[in-house]
Amino acid sequence: MGFHVCEYLTREEGDKLKLRNMDAFYSSGDVTMCFSSGRSWMMPDMARLYIELGWVPPKEFVDDVMNNTLEEGGRRQTRGLHAAPKPIGYLNPKDHPLPRPFAISDELPAGFLEKMEGHMKAAADMGHRIQTNGPQTGRAQTKGFRP
């Protein structure tokens, strides 16, 4: 999905709010996660920050994070359990307004962000994170990713 800067707040605003995922304010990496439900998801690192700002992901994703086992991230078969990953892309205020003040939505179950962060880290540790070098080169580097 490439390099992106959060469009919801400035870096300074995020630092003042003491958001725990400000490391994802600038994002150039995408993680693919496959769950025991058979669903797969590909999303930018910035999705962690969006959750803190009040974004509510699709219900199926919330269910996967909370109730299903993370399997080998990035695994895809033409005939088998896992479908092609559903992309969750970068958000912007025009198309996806978020409530202010920014806060994790009450619609999400307790512990969702922490569990999602753990799944994203585990998928990245399995080698299923694509890192884009940045806007100056536009080249993506893939480490261990197997589509």
The yes-or-no verdict on residue 49 having pLDDT over 50 is yes
Please, which pLDDT band fits residue 77 given cuts at 50, 70 and 90? very low
Task: Give the pLDDT confidence score for residue 12 in this predicted structure.
Answer: 92
Tokens of 48: 């962690």
Please name which of 100, 91, 124, 107 lies closest in space to residue 56, comparing C-alpha atoms: 107
d(CA 66, CA 34): 13
Q: Report pTM.
A: 0.76
85: left (phi over 0), alpha (psi -120 to 50) or beta: beta
Please, which pLDDT band fits residue 76 given cuts at 50, 70 and 90? very low
How far is Cα of residue 140 from the mean position of the Cα atoms in its chain? 17
Domain ranges of the chain: 4-143
